[in-house]
Structure 1
Amino acid sequence: MLSASSLRTAFRGLSLDTPTSIKRSFSTTSFLQKRKTLSEEVPPYPYKPNYLYKQADTGLYGGVSIDFGNKISKGKNKGKTRRSWKPNVRWKKLHSDALDEDVFIKVTRKALRTIRKCNGLDNYLLSDKPARIKELGLTGWELRWKVMQTPKIQARFSEQRKKLGLAEPPKSFEEWLRTRKQIQWRGNTPLKERVDIKDKTPIKLEQLANLESLKEQPTQGPKLA
């Protein structure tokens, strides 16, 4: 419980009776860095959001955050001064061939170099490497999902399936569930081609019943001469 004096000093700045402006003991403004949330249609992000550097989830930062270190002076006053290095973030307009439009997004210098090495924004977002997906963040993950839903990328995926000899995926989840119920699989063989185990077992069920009946019968001791 807070004492009366501490509550009085906390709410002193909010009172209207004081003639002079007194500095408040707390801030009533909202947080500057808010948590970014994904829409319902976007699948969940496989990695955790950035709790320490929330700004990294609002753009393509490439896994970069604020670095801390020491500034060492070599003059007369030798010593170490604590300092920080902020990432080089800038607003950049990047063209997406799949979306057929320019995306105006915050990008770091490191992520921009990687995008140029990948020959475009689409190739950077569609990489399946775990390190790449982890450095995308929430904004990159949402942009990746939008790019994957375009007709150009869907046609590219269908061509890759044909080359690998894979079947086309169902158009909806209901269609996949319907086909799953029609063809029930256990291992690598369907249920229709499954072999009946009763005929293959060395001891049949009737023999097991006879053995159980013999066990239940009382045993007779040896007859004396």
Structure 2
Amino acid sequence: MAHATAQGASLLNGFKRPGRFDKGLGAQLPDAYKKFWREWKLTKPAAVHYIPKESEWERDEVTHAIKPVQNMPLPLIDTPESHQGIWGGEAVIKGFQKRHQTKRRVPHFWVPTLRRSVVHSQVLNEYMSVVVTERTLEQIHECHGFDHYLLKNMACDLRSALALKLKREVLKALQQGCPAWAAEPKQQEEVLKEYNKYLASYTPEEIDWYGHTFPEAIRKLRNEIQAAEKVLPHKLEFRSKLIESLREAGIKEAGKLDSKEALPNVEHKDADIEALTKLESTTSSSSWLSKMNPFGKKET
């Protein structure tokens, strides 16, 4: 029985499958990235493909029966092409369509109308050619600029990986003081005055981890771990052990190898070979290396 075991109380509601943040490198990701992930994937986005009803109850027009209002969002499909453009929250919808009254319904995909347009980022001082929808252009005009559109909307409403990366670049540029306008201090001051208010919602760590997909975040974390833990090549490790063992045996020439740098260098290869050759050819009677080496010079 479940209550007879120590973990029975936690198993009464069923076994919880570990998520992507519960195992492996995903468990080591910082809270800044988890906050972005919740904003991107777990937050309910704004209604795009349906009109939500504000009331909780409604009356049926035919039967006049009162029934509760259910604002159920449509299931959306984010294709790889949607992450290469900025679709303004739109996506592909899969459903069925009855094209003839006397025939069965058939599967159908509703794809938004796409067009290529040029957008301008005032913070980055760049013009970009991207694939957008009509809704994207309308939202950019409503927000009075492409930068305002990126900074005002949440990650769940932007949806696109490209839009999130551009938002991260804009936030980093604002954090660094708009280096793109360094040649024009007056314009730089005006841009900072207009967009600096958006930095209050993010910390430097959150800006650094913002806009990364999960594989990109894992790759970024792995690179940081490898940079923090400098791996010493086995060649240098074994050479240092050899030098210590020779020094304990009382060989004076072993001290010459200790003066070399720890990192491998092409210029030191010949010096290492020459020093080891001298060690092998030592004719001292107290050297065990000369006695064990059959190719060494023998005393006459």
TM-score range normalised by the length of the shorter chain: 0.3 to 0.5
| TM superposition score normalised by structure 2 | 0.33
| Greater helix proportion | 2
| TM superposition score normalised by structure 1 | 0.43
